[in-house]
Homo-oligomer: A and B are copies of this chain.
Amino acid sequence: MVVARTARERARVEITAEILAAARAQLGEVGPSQLSLRAVAREVGMVSSAVYRYFASRDELLTALIIAAYDELGAAAEAAEEAVEDRTDHLARWMATCRATREWAISHPHDYALIYGSPVPGYAAPQDTVMPATRVIVRLVEIIVAAHGSGTAAESTQPPATAADPSGVVADAMAFIAERSDVDLEALPELVMRTLMVWSAIFGTLSFELFGHLKGSVSDYEGYFEQTVLRLAGDLGLAE
């Protein structure tokens, strides 16, 4: 972050933050595709054209909101995970992370839809979003790695005999993990495969709940989520 020197620069970052805050507030009410740049401008007492001094387009504003949402979700998940005192209780850390993710999602449904719903059309996620986007999964991977490194974890659920070796399809993920972790996962492609599956399953479950696809199938959403992530932990060898 560049330190604001002149009054002008200081005002700029302040107003930028103000616009972003107003946009976040509006997002809490109407959903991404209804977010109106003009309404945001009115909120902060500007005329719409003035906003374009701070955000080149509506898409750029949305991008900033996406980053903010990823960061907020990541921070919430990390905080909950770090609040688990017994660091050797990997299952507790796992559950805490998952629970915090769901709690953030249901209390910020529009932000969740913004980042995990359908991307706004014609929109390609800029590079700035990938780092904050990985915070939750990185934390989950850390827990899995710690559990398997400590020897307290069982082997993850075995694939069917007919399944091919997953090394090829998860090569990118293994490289990604190898970059920011000193654990050697090269011998565990099956675990990486399972981790990716579990990651998709968690957010698939949340999306189904939030987007209404579980209506008529599940009566107790919280209980269902709890049971789900517990079984997913079991599939990864985190719970017995």
The answer to the question of A151 belonging to the interface, with a C-beta cut-off of 8 Å to chain B, is no
Given A121-B34, A197-B201, also A235-B235 (CB < 8 A): yes
For A158, the chain B residues whose CB sits under 8 A away are: 234
* Number of copies of this chain that the complex holds: 2
**Of B33, B119, B173, which is within 8 A of A212 by CB?**
B119
The answer to the question of A117 belonging to the interface, with a C-beta cut-off of 8 Å to chain B, is yes
Tell me if B217 and A196 are in contact (CB < 8 A).
yes
Tell me if B162 and A219 are in contact (CB < 8 A).
no
- CB-CB nearest in chain B for A221: B169
Within 8 A of B (CB), among A84-134: 91, 110, 113-114, 116-122, 124-125, 130, 133
Given A32-B118, A118-B113, A216-B176, also A170-B208 (CB < 8 A): no
Tell me if B117 and A118 are in contact (CB < 8 A).
yes
Q: How far is the CB of A62 from chain B (nearest CB, A)?
A: 12
- CB-CB nearest in chain B for A29: B121
Interface size on A, residues (CB 8 A): 71
Tell me if B117 and A157 are in contact (CB < 8 A).
no
Q: How far is the CB of A98 from chain B (nearest CB, A)?
A: 13
Complex CA gap A157/B155 in Å reads 13
Q: How far is the CB of A204 from chain B (nearest CB, A)?
A: 2
**Of B118, B159, B199, B224, which is within 8 A of A230 by CB?**
B159
The answer to the question of A80 belonging to the interface, with a C-beta cut-off of 8 Å to chain B, is no
For A124, the chain B residues whose CB sits under 8 A away are: 212
The answer to the question of A76 belonging to the interface, with a C-beta cut-off of 8 Å to chain B, is no
The answer to the question of A135 belonging to the interface, with a C-beta cut-off of 8 Å to chain B, is no
Given A125-B212, A168-B223, A230-B163, also A217-B173 (CB < 8 A): yes
Complex CA gap A216/B130 in Å reads 9
The answer to the question of A182 belonging to the interface, with a C-beta cut-off of 8 Å to chain B, is no
What 10 additional pairs, Cβ within 8 angstroms, besides A196-B217, A201-B204?
Answer: A117-B118, A117-B211, A125-B212, A157-B234, A160-B233, A166-B224, A172-B217, A193-B231, A197-B201, A203-B204
In the A-B complex, the 3 residue pairs with the closest CB atoms: A204-B204, A117-B118, A31-B121
